[in-house]
Chain A
Amino acid sequence: DAGVIQSPRHEVTEMGQEVTLRCKPISGHNSLFWYRQTMMRGLELLIYFNNNVPIDDSGMPEDRFSAKMPNASFSTLKIQPSEPRDSAVYFCASRRTGSGNTIYFGEGSWLTVV
């Protein structure tokens, strides 16, 4: 079975550029999470979708970050404009509601903003 699929796996971009990260959750999963991981702060929840609806976006750092989930099989996280402090690993994860707390992570998108 395919797991959570993220793209791009690695991206290096210049400050001020727009970055779009993509995620395809596991088929049948109706909850989707975007996390950011850094050495300093660890794993932080950015936004949580349930049935394609954003439920909690309190972790989104600022207006430069936005996330969408137009359908059950696709989500994007956009950073515009990007800044060097956005450099991190961005993980998408999914879960089937009612299956407990086990969430399945994608392999991550490694973002470097220079």
Chain B
Amino acid sequence: RKEVEQDPGPFNVPEGATVAFNCTYSNSASQSFFWYRQDCRKEPKLLMSVYSSGNEDGRFTAQLNRASQYISLLIRDSKLSDSATYLCVVTPGAGSYQLTFGKGTKLSVIP
């Protein structure tokens, strides 16, 4: 089983739609989780951290399910500018340098 797995997509959704991505991880000792966003031919950038209780940042909601070892990202009211690849990132703990990246899920928001 791969350390971090994501559905590669692409997810093609109309503007205004709600879309959700899941990511599963194999290391049950993982402590910190993140979503990064990578635009086409650009570098990855931190989108948001994922906290145990779940957290929201505007139209974006991240959740963690430790029992099932997956994290999710929900995007409400999709915008054209949300089109990108979303990378799930898992680490053994806060401050660890060992960030394991998923291969990403590609999202295309269409007019």
Residues of A at the B interface (CB closer than 8 Å) are 31, 33, 41-43, 45, 48, 50, 55-56, 91, 95, 97-98, 100-103, 105-108
User: A43-B44, A91-B43 given as contacts; is B99 within 8 A of A103 (CB)?
Assistant: yes
Q: How far is the CA of A101 from the CA of B99 in the complex (A)?
A: 8
A107 close to B46 (CB less than 8 A): no
Residues of B in contact with A, size category? 20 to 34
B42 close to A45 (CB less than 8 A): no
Beyond A50-B97, A105-B43, A107-B42: 13 further Cβ-contacts under 8 Å?
Answer: A33-B97, A42-B102, A42-B104, A43-B103, A45-B99, A55-B97, A98-B95, A100-B32, A101-B89, A101-B91, A101-B96, A102-B34, A106-B43
Minimum-distance CB pairs A-B, first 5:
A42-B103, A105-B43, A43-B101, A48-B97, A102-B46
Interface core residue of B46, B49, B97 (most chain A CB under 10 Å): B97
A105 close to B104 (CB less than 8 A): no
B94 close to A100 (CB less than 8 A): yes
Residues of B at the A interface (CB closer than 8 Å) are 32, 34, 42-46, 49, 87, 89, 91, 94-99, 101-104
Residues of A within 8 A of B97 (CB): 31, 33, 48, 50, 55-56, 95
The main secondary structure of chain A at its interface with chain B is strand
A107 close to B101 (CB less than 8 A): no
Interface core residue of A33, A43, A95 (most chain B CB under 10 Å): A43
- CB of A81 to closest CB in B, whole Å: 27
- CB of B6 to closest CB in A, whole Å: 9
- CB of B20 to closest CB in A, whole Å: 21
Residues of A within 8 A of B101 (CB): 42-43
Q: How far is the CA of A102 from the CA of B87 in the complex (A)?
A: 14
Residues of A within 8 A of B32 (CB): 100-101
Q: How far is the CA of A50 from the CA of B97 in the complex (A)?
A: 9
Q: What are 15 residue pairs bridging A and B, where the CB atoms are less than 8 Å apart in the complex?
A: A31-B97, A33-B97, A41-B103, A42-B104, A48-B97, A91-B44, A95-B97, A101-B34, A101-B94, A101-B95, A105-B43, A105-B44, A105-B45, A106-B43, A108-B43
Residues of B within 8 A of A48 (CB): 97
